Amino acid sequence: MDTTMELDDFKSAWQTLDARLSRQDRLQLELLRERKLDNARRGLRSLVFGQWLQLLLGVGIIVLGVACWSRNLDVPALFASGVLLHAFGVITAAMAGLTLGLVAMIDYSAPVVVIQKQMARLLRFHTVNSNVCGLPWWIMWVIVVLGFAGLGDVDRSLPTPAWIWLSLAVGIAGLLGTWAWTAWRAHRGPLPDRDMADGCDGIRRGRRLLDEIARFEQE
């Protein structure tokens, strides 16, 4: 009987110890998850700041474009420049707004696999955002100069300055060259994260932190 009681006591003590260890493991995992998710959230602050700047830039370009085309309805080159600026400003502001929306939609209280999907969606969209709103600046800076020129008095009898045509030619060559390099790199495989310069560093760091949490949860 004493032996039976000792075995029961030992079994009860073992179960108590096992429960305590399980609670400790869950607590450590929760603390690890909270710390790494907080780091992932902070890592997106620079992205959010940059997108607010992009949004303001888009609004500014819209204002410039409207002011340009509305003052130069009878000057085709300046009218076209104003319309192009107006459209590009709308796209720039809209892409920034959508990116900010995707950041705000990340639910850090959700399971890790859900957050990983949300981060992956944000990364894909921001990559598109960088290409759509970044690469055209090879040419858009010239259009911006024309937009500002269209705000003043324009001598309609003067031809378009040669430097504008030269700048547009150089910009088009640079844009095509960038596209060619991007296509060439795509055939060689993706660049390591440390070599990427597309403004997605914070997102990639967040995804790595989420991968670490997922590995701990699976162990």
Which tens digit of pLDDT belongs to each residue from 63-83? 999 999 999 888 888 899 999
Average pLDDT over residues 172-180: 87
Question: In the prediction, which pLDDT does 9 show?
Answer: 56
Side-chain half-sphere exposure of 104, counting CA atoms within 13 A = 9
Interval 95-128: pLDDT, tens: 999 999 999 998 888 887 888 888 889 999 998 9
**pTM for the complete prediction?**
0.77
Per-residue confidence at 158, pLDDT binned at 50, 70, 90? low
**Predicted confidence band of residue 85 (pLDDT cuts 50, 70, 90):** very high
pLDDT computed for residue 194 by the predictor: 45
Predicted confidence (pLDDT) at residue 199 exceeds the cutoff of 80: no
Distance CA 140, CA 168 (A): 9
Q: Which of 119, 138, 147, 52 is nearest to 92 (CA)?
A: 52
Instruction: Share the mean pLDDT of the chain.
Output: 80
